[in-house]
Amino acid sequence: MNLKGKKILLGVSGSIAAYKSALLVRLLVKAEAEVRVVMTHSATEFITPLTLSTLSKNPVLTAFTKNETGEWNNHVELGLWADLIVIAPATAKTLSKCATGHCDDLLTAIYLSARCPVFFAPAMDVDMFKHPSTQHNIGQLISYGNIFISPEHGELASGLIGDGRLAEPENIVKVLDANFAKRPVANAKRVLITAGPTVEPIDPVRFISNRSSGKMGYAIAEAFAAAGAQVTLVSGPTHLKASNSDIRTIGVETSGQMFEAARENFQSNDLIIFAAAVADYAPRHVAEQKIKKQGDSMTLDLAKTTDIAGTLGTMKKPGQLIIGFALETENELSHAQDKLIRKNFDYIVLNSLNDPGAGFAHDTNKITVIDKDKNVQRFDLKSKEEVAQDILNIVLTKWSEA
């Protein structure tokens, strides 16, 4: 995760949802972030400082001074220490004080001293959340550059059902992690990715396809979108759905449809990644009615499909990068290098079905990346999310050198 080694200051204000801060701290620590917790006085009535200090492995601060010694908890120093501040739960009162600069406790003093990104995760009853004054305060805080993690819809402590539930800790961590995933070099870059299988119909109920799950292509799309790139994902039929709402997804079925979608978007993108498993052949004629079983055998007349990567590779503009994939079973390296040259790729990602845990349907992959200068990088077996990060890092390094 991108939270490793990051300094996170968690502000906890007085809401029944404060109990969720324990899990939030635990998840942040598990992600190897350094966590310090600041609580308002009312928050201590819902969860004890001892609980959060034990989980964070740091003293929890609740006031400007330590009562026993009179030692000052330096709010300016704390505000500058943090790489990110998240206030969760953020009550209507805390939102109001931060929006107006009403600084009467340690948490609001730290907020006013911060130079890092500040995230607010509201928690309150539905009518309080929708009240014009609360919405005004949220608008003010957003105008200051703060980031909001929207509350979730569900049953509230009052018994009402609506918006106002504190976002689940797992979802808060995802938002914070994505903040650190952004890379300046990826901003304003446009990325086109193909993913999944294609389906070539034989008749209204039968088709030719392959075992591709689309997991690798989707993982790559998520990695580049999290880094700040504008991602268009052309996907064949799959049960997957992009979790990042910024990813523009174009659903297709046949290789012809995938070619048309990729061709229409090719010229406007800086990077094209051909991760889809496209059928090489398709039935020359598609029966309008279901083909009835007759005789002991059946012959299908297959026609070669358009070579999407090869065709679009001839259209590459200066400055564009193209990455292809090669799934091989024999003479893997030589076949991949030949494909890289023939299709005008800048990089090719080689998978071998001879490697356990690699290839279709697995949650893991083992890749070798070859560039057009014949440099070879071999990677260990990893999750497909980690493989996507490796591919992302190769591209970011290339863009940084440009």
pLDDT at 1 over 90: no
pLDDT at 103 over 80: yes
CB atoms within 10 A of CB 345: 26
> Is 290 within any annotated ligand binding site?
yes
- How far apart CA 221 and CA 104 sit, in angstroms, is 45
> How would residue 155 be classed by pLDDT, with cut points 50, 70 and 90?
confident
Helices vs strands, H then E, count in the chain: 13, 21
Residue with tokens 């703060």: 146
Question: Cα-atom radius of gyration of the chain, to the nearest Å?
Answer: 26
Task: Encode pLDDT of 59-102 as tens digits.
Answer: 999 988 876 666 788 898 999 999 999 999 999 999 999 999 99
Is residue 210 annotated as a catalytic residue, yes or no? yes
Task: Encode pLDDT of 361-390 as tens digits.
Answer: 678 889 999 999 999 999 999 899 999 999
> Is 46 within any annotated ligand binding site?
no
Least confident of 32-46, 72-86, 224-238: 72-86
> Is 343 within any annotated ligand binding site?
yes
> Is 384 within any annotated ligand binding site?
no
pLDDT at 330 over 90: no
What's the distance, Cα to Cα, between the start and end of the chain in Å? 27
- Domains, the chain, ordered by start: 7-181 (3.40.50.1950), 184-284+297-401 (3.40.50.10300)
pLDDT at 188 (0 to 100): 86
Can you point out the beta strands (E) in 219-345? Answer: 230-235, 248-251, 271-274, 281-283, 302-304, 321-328
pLDDT at 178 over 80: yes
Is residue 91 a contact partner of residue 126, using CB atoms and an 8 Å limit?
Answer: no
SS3 sequence of 276-298: CECCCEEECCCCCCCCCCCCCCC
Amino acid code (one letter) for 164: G
Q: Which residue has the higher pLDDT, 187 or 322?
A: 322
Summarize the confidence of residues 92-118 as an average pLDDT. Answer: 95
> Is 182 within any annotated ligand binding site?
no
Q: DSSP of 180-231, one letter per residue?
A: HH--GGGTT-EEEEEESB--EESSSS-EE-----SHHHHHHHHHHHHTT-EE
Is residue 8 a contact partner of residue 34, using CB atoms and an 8 Å limit?
Answer: yes
| Confidence (pTM) | 0.71
- How far apart CA 2 and CA 33 sit, in angstroms, is 9
Summarize the confidence of residues 118-141 as an average pLDDT. Answer: 95
Catalytic residue among 210, 265, 344, 365: 210
pLDDT at 359 over 80: no
pLDDT at 357 over 90: no
Least confident of 141-150, 162-171, 345-354: 345-354
- How far apart CA 269 and CA 184 sit, in angstroms, is 17
For residue 370, which phi and psi values (nearest 5 degrees)?
-120, 135
CB atoms within 10 A of CB 133: 12
Closest CA to 51 of 10, 19, 28, 11: 19
